[in-house]
Amino acid sequence: MYRRNIRHILIPLAAGLALVIGYNLFLRPVLPPHMVRLTETVEPVAPPPAPPQGRWPESEAKSVRVLDQSVVPSTPHEGLLEAIRDEIEKHNLSLAETKLKDLPPAVLSDAKSKPFVATLWNNLGLQQERLNGTQVSTKAYKRAADLDDSNPVILMNLAHAYWEQRDRALNAEFLMKLMKVAPEEPFPHLAMADLLHEQDELQEAVKHLDQAADRARQDPGLQSYLTAVTAKVRRIQSVESRMTARSSTHFVVKFDGEEDQGTWISVLEILEEAYREIGQKFGHFPSKPIMVVLHAKDSFQGATGSPAWADGLYDPALGRIQIPTQGATTDRKWLASVLRHEYVHALLHDRLGASSGALPTWLNEGLAMQLAGDAWPELDQAMSGDITVIPLTYLEGSWVALPAGASTVAYLEANSATHYLIERWGMARVDELLNALQAKSSVAAALENKLFVSYEQFHRQWLESFERSRS
């Protein structure tokens, strides 16, 4: 289906190939081994509906998150609490925080004041979140929940923050409590399902997905997402139930029973090496073991719903890297390239948590290429050919709408622009850029605030260096 001769640089992609963020599939070219190339493209089949805001229920935005703080309980501490409330209302957030922290123990032990102090912490958290994201607000919600753990609004706000931050405190115990306090919410069940399929308890995960769907009737977007994920989990469960799993320190690798040990050992070696090397370069290590599923070629399609030509993918919804292998005949060099590239996507997903959708595709792919150290011979070739530059702003979202043939250029630009970014500003600043994107900054605002360069300037300067490197 996808035959490429190295001399034909910009062969149009077969019609109908679609590119969807997150669904990263490799094409295996018909090339001699030494010319092994990685062209990643994405399944032409309809993708499941996009997770609403990183799978945080959309309805959440409409639900009540702020608590009424207008009536200060009449206690001897009334004046003190009123003053703090006023600071919050005047947006003097750090002053309000200091005053809340300095409250005398007598206030916190007073039964009437205590829930009100929790309300103040909650509302302070919301304001902090609007300014600086959940990275900052989590602490305030945590304080609020410590004072009043029966308030569904507070616990939902805390859960939301934990979720966004990929905080391990969003554990089964916390979620069970949340289900009790907020029984009508789909979210705790969704988060529980997430934990369970992470622990590979797929059957239990499906139960919670069903419960989440029951509670999401008011939210068609969320419900269709849940239906798609549930179908996928069921499919994966049926395929993976006959697989064998082996764990190393940082990975769980599953493979078909008849899969040969040699490939499995190679895979773990490649992955552990990627873990160390890429982790050091990038300054981030995954917060939990990453699941890698090696499929026999014929089961891969059925299990992942991907087309015949696809050679691998990272599925962010299920947190799995999926690779088809052909046992001992699998080319190790190719395997290493695919695994390393997909590992970076998994790592970025872990790094950005629920906000990973905020990462522009050109940066996501660029970082995968730069950090994995992909060798893409055809990109070097394409460098010397005719290129119609696609503005990076067109390469931020899904690459579905790219005209045929533009995909090579897209990867070329993503790789080059990210290389320029790292060369000029260094990885530490790139990391700050990721923080800003995680806190929901636009790409333009993130560049402006973290690199002190407008998107336009960045684009122009990168293009100049790109053209220089081509001449």
Task: Considering the complex, state which of residue 77 and residue 345 has its C-beta at the smaller distance from Zn ion.
Answer: 345
If you compute the radius of gyration of the chain from its CA atoms, what whole number of angstroms results? 24
Beta carbon of residue 43, minimum distance to Zn ion (angstroms, whole number)? 13
Q: Any residues with CB less than 8 A from the CB of 132 and at least 6 apart, and which?
A: 439
∠ CA 411-414-415, rounded to 5°: 85
Task: Considering the complex, state which of residue 24 and residue 119 has its C-beta at the smaller distance from Zn ion.
Answer: 24
- Count, residues near Zn ion per rule CB under 5 A: 4
What is each CA distance from 161 to 127, 138, 182, 183, 346, in whole angstroms? Answer: 13, 6, 16, 19, 21
Beta carbon of residue 361, minimum distance to Zn ion (angstroms, whole number)? 9
Binding map of Zn ion across residues 110-149, x = CB under 5 A, - = no contact: ----------------------------------------
Task: Considering the complex, state which of residue 80 and residue 367 has its C-beta at the smaller distance from Zn ion.
Answer: 367
Distance CA 93, CA 215 (A): 35
Angle between helices 455-470 and 443-451 (to 10 degrees): 80
Q: Which residues, numbered 74-103, are part of the site for Zn ion (CB under 5 A)?
A: none
Beta carbon of residue 234, minimum distance to Zn ion (angstroms, whole number)? 27
The secondary structure element, H or E, covering residue 304 is helix 297-304
Beta carbon of residue 243, minimum distance to Zn ion (angstroms, whole number)? 25
* CA-based nearest residue to 462, from 417, 411, 414, 409: 417
Is 415 a binding residue for Zn ion by CB under 5 A? The answer is no
Task: Considering the complex, state which of residue 155 and residue 313 has its C-beta at the smaller distance from Zn ion.
Answer: 313
Beta carbon of residue 341, minimum distance to Zn ion (angstroms, whole number)? 6
Task: Considering the complex, state which of residue 96 and residue 346 has its C-beta at the smaller distance from Zn ion.
Answer: 346
∠ CA 351-356-357, rounded to 5°: 170
Residue with tokens 């690798």: 253
Beta carbon of residue 456, minimum distance to Zn ion (angstroms, whole number)? 26
Residue with tokens 């799995």: 320
Beta carbon of residue 196, minimum distance to Zn ion (angstroms, whole number)? 27
Task: Considering the complex, state which of residue 278 and residue 368 has its C-beta at the smaller distance from Zn ion.
Answer: 368
Residues 91, 432, 348, 230, Cα dihedral to 10°? 10
Is 222 a binding residue for Zn ion by CB under 5 A? The answer is no
Q: Which residues, numbered 25-84, are part of the site for Zn ion (CB under 5 A)?
A: 40
∠ CA 352-358-360, rounded to 5°: 110
Task: Considering the complex, state which of residue 40 and residue 97 has its C-beta at the smaller distance from Zn ion.
Answer: 40
Q: Which residues, numbered 357-396, are part of the site for Zn ion (CB under 5 A)?
A: 365, 368
Is 196 a binding residue for Zn ion by CB under 5 A? The answer is no
Beta carbon of residue 359, minimum distance to Zn ion (angstroms, whole number)? 12
Sheet-wide strand order for 313-315: 243-247, 251-256, 290-296, 320-325, 313-315
> Can you tell me which of 18, 24, 182, 395 binds Zn ion, judged by CB under 5 A?
24
Beta carbon of residue 342, minimum distance to Zn ion (angstroms, whole number)? 7
Distance CA 49, CA 80 (A): 49
Task: Considering the complex, state which of residue 216 and residue 367 has its C-beta at the smaller distance from Zn ion.
Answer: 367
Task: Considering the complex, state which of residue 40 and residue 256 has its C-beta at the smaller distance from Zn ion.
Answer: 40
Residues lying near Zn ion in the complex (CB under 5 A) = 24, 40, 365, 368
